[in-house]
Amino acid sequence: MTQEFIDLRNSILQGRYADALAIVDELEGISKQAILRNLQSYVNILLIHLIKNQVEQKLTNSWVASIRNSIREIKKLNIKDNKNSYYINQDEWENLIEEEVIEDAIADASVEVMNGKYSQFQLADIIDRTRLIENALKFLALTYSYSAKELPAVVAETLTQLPGGEDWKAGRW
């Protein structure tokens, strides 16, 4: 990326403004791709923990912390600098999950679910993908409806609706 800034500076100094604008566009594209990769990474973490919850029918404080942190980071990363638009709109998450994230999440979760009892292929057969995606979308939707301050409490309340959620809330896990 350093080379791009050198080229940008030289283009501006030499009055080659079309070249400078092309470099700015390239830098914007690089930045957007980095943000999208980070968003996918946090969605992957969210899915891993929702898979573990679905299969093991419980919640632990560690899983809750990972889910809450993922949702908070997604909210922060997804909003553009103008504070009025998003990198991923609410109606685009399902497609992203199905096409780019779910298979990696299943493979990654297979290492953790029931202490690695299932291969990724077995786990893929066990989970209810529709319910998994519905739960993920429910959490992702919260990022559009609640402020950063309100979000942790709303996520916690939403977690109580998952299998084992009431036990987690009552400290019986």
Average pLDDT over the chain, rounded to an integer? 93
**Coil, helix or strand for 86?**
strand
Contact between 139 and 158 under an 8 Å Cβ cutoff? The reply is yes
- Helices 61-78 and 17-56, packing angle to 10 deg: 160
Question: Does 1 score more than 70 pLDDT?
Answer: no
What mean pLDDT is predicted for residues 58-73?
Answer: 97
For 2-51, the pLDDT digits (tens) are: 888 788 788 888 888 887 788 777 877 677 888 999 999 999 999 999 99
Contact between 15 and 67 under an 8 Å Cβ cutoff? The reply is no
Q: What is the pTM of this model?
A: 0.87
Contact between 151 and 67 under an 8 Å Cβ cutoff? The reply is no
For 111-141, the pLDDT digits (tens) are: 999 999 999 999 999 999 999 999 999 999 9
Contact between 144 and 78 under an 8 Å Cβ cutoff? The reply is no
DSSP state of 82: T
Q: What gap in Å lies between CA 23 and CA 162, rounded to an integer?
A: 47
**Coil, helix or strand for 79?**
strand
